[in-house]
Chains A and B, each alone.
Chain A
């Protein structure tokens, strides 16, 4: 009697999770791959099997290539700024010279992380505005008006303007994560290095960097995965434009499905996004697991 009761509790307790994940995560995943082989629209009852033709379309799709290219740019810039720059920033803030001000700076840098991306993106609409924008009027103020331009309306600058905004928002987050792991480094390592005559820069490279290796790797993966999935920022600021110059894979997928009503091809694009991001997510799960358990 007792044994039976012990066995029923875990099943009851696990059931909601299995249902939620099954219905809203695993079935959609399978459904998405299945949809990639069909031609259908939002309101059509029937799906027409088209085999691999949606995948062929993918290889001939110039917009997808532009989008992929933009996602790669996003990833490279984010890795440099959010992983490298944030680590340096974290190390500076943890330095005893700056301890006194570190608390204030930390709170300031972290502030944009707390704000909804739709608010941030609308705000940067004002920053980049060609007539009244803060950026252009600032350039004018310091006498660099020849560099003023319609940042979001220009096909060469649009994607970089979007990327810049993302960096502005998330550097504080990665910095904070680095600060947390720097604080876990045993103090005597630094003391030993100092006695050996290592300067600050030397100590950064031979103590801090190796000690936060795992955090760096996880932050790297998180940043790259985020860059593959990026949707909100370019969607609100430019909607992928002008032309397709600031298109990302997720926006292309959204527009193909919900604007052009080609759900089959949109599913193919979603499958591509999944494959790209799943690789990094898998590595991340592997890495964080080895670090955490036992």
Chain B
């Protein structure tokens, strides 16, 4: 590869190549574009790399030389971050995220089943009701939800987050799963009905197992939302011991004024589960984002 490059640039017109001829001008443009892509990649990667590296430094070291690698890798930053609160935020996040996923996917799949299998006036209305839910945003509902949760005594409990997260993820989840359910061949459920299978059986034994890919997509999108949600987590939960990671990090920041290394370790811990989950299941995530066309 390098060899041909050199040859070409020295004798552009005389050296015949058996490969496709690339004019020199195109090659220069190509290299400039490549350099652009590389610069952009560095702009994206460097802050993340810095976060990771600095999470092993002491405050003095971050302050005196931001760019340097740590002279002494302070692994104890991580155990400090963990014991000073991240562990409980982490467990809360896992609990809230898992509950949200189970409820959203189960309830969503049930609704999608109905909305894809039946057709009458009521079903059309229910579909419209579901799609309409997409128009609502957490920002707009913040105050009334705060009132409702206060009246029902749910404020400052994990249920405040789980129930509202489920509600806000349902419309998109239902639309995604329904689109998949519509492609399930009618013959499958018809023959099952003949064999005496109930409607619930058709849902549980045929539709759900067949739709595993879209269910995985929904699980990831929901996990991503619930793990990272910030606004509700900040407003609906006051007690520090009930906070999830995104809002817990704010408490952490205020409590740790100068312990930047520890704060950065906390940030890394908050990031790792999503990165791991998504690296393995990226295909499903991109598909969900493309089909739902939604931002985070």
- Which residues of A does B touch, CB under 8 Å? 5-6, 9-10, 13-14, 16-18, 20-21, 23-29, 31-32, 35, 42, 89, 92-93, 97-98, 101, 105, 108-119, 122-124, 126-127, 131-134, 137, 168, 170, 172-173, 176-177, 180-181, 215, 218-219, 222-223, 226, 229, 231-232, 236, 250, 253-254, 257-258, 263, 266-267, 270-271, 273-274, 277-278, 281-282, 284-285, 288-289, 292
* Contact in complex: B163, A24 (CB < 8 Å): yes
CB distance from B268 to the nearest CB of A (A): 8
Are A20 and B47 CB-contacts (below 8 A) given A28-B145, A281-B135? no
Are A98 and B136 CB-contacts (below 8 A) given A28-B145, A31-B144, A114-B274? no
Residues in B whose Cβ lies below 8 Å from that of A134: 46-47, 50, 66
* Contact in complex: B166, A109 (CB < 8 Å): no
Partner of A17, one of B50, B54, B170: B170
Residues in B whose Cβ lies below 8 Å from that of A9: 114, 198-200
Partner of B286, one of A97, A109, A127, A180: A180
Are A173 and B131 CB-contacts (below 8 A) given A10-B118, A13-B114, A273-B140? no
Residues in B whose Cβ lies below 8 Å from that of A24: 141, 145, 148, 163-164, 167-168
Instruction: Name the residue on B nearest A135 (C-beta).
Output: B47
Are A28 and B148 CB-contacts (below 8 A) given A173-B295, A176-B286, A273-B137? yes
Pairs A–B under 8 Å by Cβ, sample size 30: A17-B174, A20-B107, A20-B167, A24-B163, A24-B164, A24-B167, A25-B168, A26-B132, A27-B148, A28-B141, A28-B145, A32-B140, A89-B40, A97-B30, A101-B34, A114-B274, A115-B274, A116-B274, A118-B230, A118-B246, A119-B246, A137-B67, A176-B289, A180-B286, A222-B293, A263-B143, A267-B143, A270-B143, A274-B136, A281-B134
Residues in A whose Cβ lies below 8 Å from that of B262: none
CB distance from A214 to the nearest CB of B (A): 10
Are A257 and B142 CB-contacts (below 8 A) given A111-B44, A118-B250, A180-B290? yes
* Contact in complex: B141, A18 (CB < 8 Å): no
B6 at interface by CB-CB < 8 Å: no
B267 at interface by CB-CB < 8 Å: yes
What is the predominant secondary structure among interface residues of chain B facing chain A? helix
B255 at interface by CB-CB < 8 Å: no
CB distance from A132 to the nearest CB of B (A): 5
The CA-CA distance from A111 to B279 in the complex, in Å, is 9
Instruction: Name the residue on A nearest B231 (C-beta).
Output: A231
Partner of A105, one of B37, B63, B107, B267: B37
Question: When each residue 116-153 of chain B gets 1 if its CB lies under 8 Å from chain A and 0 otherwise, what string results?
Answer: 01100001001001111111110111111111100000
Instruction: Name the residue on A nearest B41 (C-beta).
Output: A108
B43 at interface by CB-CB < 8 Å: yes
Question: When each residue 88-127 of chain B gets 1 if its CB lies under 8 Å from chain A and 0 otherwise, what string results?
Answer: 0000000000000000000110110111011000010010
14 A-B pairs besides A113-B296, A258-B235, A270-B142 with CB distance below 8 A are: A5-B198, A9-B114, A9-B199, A14-B110, A14-B115, A21-B129, A21-B167, A32-B140, A119-B267, A180-B290, A215-B293, A277-B137, A278-B135, A281-B134
B45 at interface by CB-CB < 8 Å: yes
Partner of A35, one of B44, B137, B143, B164: B143
